[in-house]
C-alpha cells in the first residue's frame, strides 16, 4: 500500500534544537533504557583513547548542534563517492570525506522518527522511520503505537545535491522500519527494500502479531515518487523461535538482513533465528535454511558474508545494546559473533556453526558493550572484518579459519560516564576506500587508519557506492 500525503520540504542546515523521542518511547526498540535521563550533553567527560599500535586515529568530528545531545543517537552509514550519509534518531548527517582524515559536515537534516537506518542508490537516499509519528513529513510529532493514524515506514530523499537533500516520497510498513536492506534489481531499473521490523502487540493497530514477516518495497529509479509495497511475505509460517523467559528473544519479525546479490543469497538475523534466503527472485525471497542457538544467542541482530559468499558472521545483541555484557561473568560466547560456514548449494545450502568471536578485553560495568555492525575489510584471499562494539569500541578481526578467529587491531575509549551505565559508543564501523569510519551513538564520526601488512592490500580496493548490508564483491 502506497502512502499518499503532503511531503514537506527539508531544511538542509538545522539551526534549532530537535524535539526527538528518547530510545524508550517506542515499543519494539532494541534499546530499553532512556539514554537521556538526567543528561543534556553528548560530551559527558573527557575520555582517553586506548588502541593497538597498528591503528591510527586520524580524525574525530563530534556531533554538532542540534544533534549534540543524548537523544540524537548516531546510527548507520551509507557511502557514495566522496560522501558519507550517517543516520540519526533525529534525521541524518551528510559528511564530505574526500579528505578522509579531515571530514567536514556538508549538511544536517532534521527528520525525527527513530533509528534512521540509511542506504543509498545513485542519487536516492532511503531512511527508516521506526517511531510512530503523526504523519509522514519531517515536521511530524511523536505519537504512540496505539494510535491508528500513526505513521512509520520508509522515506526517500533525492541527494543529487548532497548539500540540499530533497524529500521525494514515503511509504508505510507494518511495525515501521527498524532496518532496511537495499537490493538492486537485475535489470538495473529499480531497487527493492527489504524492510525488517518487529515487536507487535494486539493493542497496536498497525503492528499486529504474529508479524513473522518482512516488507518488500519496489522503488522505480526513474520514478522514486511512486514506491510500491509489493508484498509482506511470512518468513516463519510455522512460527519462529518461541523464546525463553530471561533468555533468547521470541521471534516476531527480523532485525536485519544482509544480501549478497552476486550469489542471490541473503542472511537474515531474525531475533531468535538465523536464516539463509535464496533471493534469485528479488520479489519472492525463499528460506532455504534456518538455525538457532538457544544456548548462547539471545538476539540475532545482523549478518555479514565473507567475499566468497561461503560464510556468514551473525551477531548476538545480548542486552539490546544497552547492557554491559563484555565482562567476565557474561563470558566469551554470549553477546558475541557466531561464525557459520555455508555448505552445499542452492536449495541444499545449510549453515553450519564453526565458532564464536568476542573482543578479548573486559569493559567496565558502566559501558554498554556487545557485538554490533561491521563490514569486511577487502583483503583478497582473507576473511577480515571491522566491527563496532558500542563502548567496547572498534575491533578488527580475522576469520579466515572459521574455527579460530582472532583479533588483529582495536580502538577503544574509556567509559562515556564512569558513574553510571549510559548508552554510547560505536554503533557502526565500516571500511570504505582505505579508512574505517565509525558512527558513534554520542561521539559523532571517528576515522581510523589501519597500518598492518595483513590489511594493507585493502587500500587498493575502491568502491563508488557502498551499503554495508548490500555486500559487493571485490576482485582477488
List, for residues 160-201, the tens digit of each pLDDT value. Answer: 999 999 999 999 999 999 999 999 999 999 999 999 999 999
Tell me which residue of 271, 299, 431, 443 sits closest to 370, measured CA to CA: 299
Burial 241-267 (b: 16+ CB within 10 A, else e): bebeeeebbbbbbbbbbbbbbebbbbb
Within-domain flag for 471: no
Report the C-alpha gap between 296 and 252 in whole angstroms. 19
The percent of residues in the chain predicted with pLDDT above 70, rounded, is 90
- pLDDT in the model for residue 187: 94
List, for residues 23-81, the tens digit of each pLDDT value. Answer: 222 223 333 333 333 333 455 557 999 999 999 999 999 999 999 999 999 999 999 99
List, for residues 345-378, the tens digit of each pLDDT value. Answer: 888 899 999 999 999 999 999 999 999 999 999 9
CATH code at 433? 2.130.10.10
Within-domain flag for 8: no
- Report whether 69 contacts 61 (CB < 8 A): no
Within-domain flag for 24: no
Tell me which residue of 466, 4, 470 sits closest to 229, measured CA to CA: 4
Domain that holds residue 247: 55-466
Within-domain flag for 59: yes
Domains in the chain, number:
1
The mean pLDDT of the chain is 91
Within-domain flag for 136: yes
- pLDDT in the model for residue 39: 34
- pLDDT in the model for residue 345: 85
* pLDDT of 7 higher than 50: no
Mean of pLDDT values over 127-140: 97
Within-domain flag for 229: yes
Mean of pLDDT values over 82-87: 98
All three cell numbers of 211: 508479524
Within-domain flag for 7: no
- pLDDT in the model for residue 29: 33
- Report whether 10 contacts 159 (CB < 8 A): no
pTM value is 0.91
List, for residues 420-468, the tens digit of each pLDDT value. Answer: 999 999 999 999 999 999 999 999 999 999 999 999 999 999 999 999 9
The percent of residues in the chain predicted with pLDDT above 90, rounded, is 88
Within-domain flag for 238: yes
Assign 216 a pLDDT band (cuts: 50, 70, 90).
very high
Assign 476 a pLDDT band (cuts: 50, 70, 90).
low
List, for residues 391-428, the tens digit of each pLDDT value. Answer: 999 999 999 999 999 999 999 999 999 999 999 999 99
Amino acid at each position: 500500500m502506497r502512502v499518499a500525503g503532503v511531503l514537506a520540504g527539508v531544511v538542509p542546515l538545522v539551526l534549532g534544537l530537535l524535539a526527538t523521542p528518547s530510545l524508550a518511547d517506542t515499543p519494539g526498540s532494541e534499546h530499553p533504557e532512556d539514554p537521556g535521563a538526567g543528561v543534556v550533553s553528548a560530551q559527558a567527560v573527557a575520555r582517553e583513547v586506548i588502541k593497538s599500535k597498528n591503528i591510527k586515529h586520524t580524525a574525530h568530528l563530534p556531533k554538532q548542534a542540534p544533534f549534540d545531545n543524548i537523544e540524537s543517537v548516531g546510527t548507520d552509514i551509507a557511502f557514495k563517492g566522496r560522501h558519507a550519509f550517517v543516520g540519526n534518531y533525529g534525521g541524518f548527517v551528510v559528511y564530505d570525506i574526500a579528505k578522509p582524515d579531515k571530514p567536514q559536515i556538508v549538511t544536517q537534516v532534521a527528520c525525527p522518527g527513530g533509528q534512521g537506518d540509511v542506504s543509498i542508490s545513485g542519487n536516492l537516499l532511503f531512511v527508516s522511520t521506526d517511531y510512530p509519528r503523526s504523519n509522514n513529513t519531517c515536521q511530524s510529532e511523536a505519537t504512540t503505537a496505539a494510535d491508528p493514524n500513526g505513521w512509520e515506514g520508509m522515506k526517500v530523499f533525492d541527494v543529487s545535491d548532497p548539500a540540499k537533500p530533497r524529500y521525494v516520497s514515503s511509504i508505510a510498513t507494518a511495525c515501521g522500519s527498524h532496518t532496511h536492506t537495499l537490493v538492486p534489481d537485475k535489470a538495473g531499473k529499480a531497487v527493492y527494500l527489504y524492510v525488517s521490523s518487529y515487536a507487535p502487540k494486539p493493542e497496536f493497530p498497525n503492528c499486529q502479531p504474529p508479524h513473522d514477516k518482512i516488507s518488500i518495497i519496489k522503488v522505480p529509479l526513474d520514478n522514486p515518487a511512486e514506491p510500491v509495497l509489493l508484498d509482506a511475505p511470512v518468513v516463519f509460517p510455522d512460527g519462529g523461535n518461541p523464546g525463553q523467559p530471561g533468555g533468547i528473544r521470541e521471534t516476531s519479525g527480523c532485525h536485519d538482513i544482509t544480501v549478497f546479490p552476486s550469489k542471490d543469497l541473503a542472511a537474515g538475523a531474525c531475533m531468535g533465528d538465523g536464516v539463509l534466503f535464496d533471493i534469485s527472485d528479488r520479489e519472492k525471497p525463499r528460506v532455504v535454511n534456518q538455525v538457532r542457538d538457544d544456548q548462547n544467542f539471545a538476539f540475532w541482530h545482523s549478518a555479514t558474508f565473507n567475499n566468497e559468499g561461503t560464510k556468514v558472521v551473525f551477531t548476538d545483541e545480548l542486552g539490546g545494546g544497552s547492557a554491559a555484557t563484555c565482562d567476565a561473568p557474561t563470558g566469551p560466547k554470549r553477546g558475541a559473533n557466531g561464525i557459520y560456514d555455508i555448505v552445499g548449494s542452492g536449495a541444499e545450502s545449510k549453515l553450519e556453526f564453526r565458532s564464536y568471536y568476542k573482543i578479548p578485553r573486559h569493559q567496565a560495568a558502566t559501558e554498554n558493550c556487545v557485538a554490533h555492525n561491521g563490514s569486511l575489510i577487502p583483503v583478497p584471499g582473507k576473511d577480515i572484518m571491522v566491527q563496532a562494539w558500542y563502548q567496547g569500541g572498534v575491533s578488527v578481526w580475522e576469520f579466515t579459519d572459521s574455527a579460530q578467529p582472532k583479533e588483529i587491531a582495536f580502538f577503544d575509549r574509556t567509559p562515556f560516564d564512569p558513574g553510571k551505565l549510559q548508552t554510547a559508543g560505536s554503533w557502526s564501523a565500516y571500511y570504505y576506500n582505505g579508512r574505517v569510519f565509525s558512527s558513534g551513538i554520542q561521539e559523532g564520526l571517528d576515522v581510523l587508519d589501519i597500518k598492518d601488512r595483513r590489511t594493507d592490500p585493502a587500500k587498493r580496493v575502491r568502491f563508488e557506492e557502498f551499503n554495508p548490508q548490500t555486500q559487493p564483491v571485490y576482485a582477488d
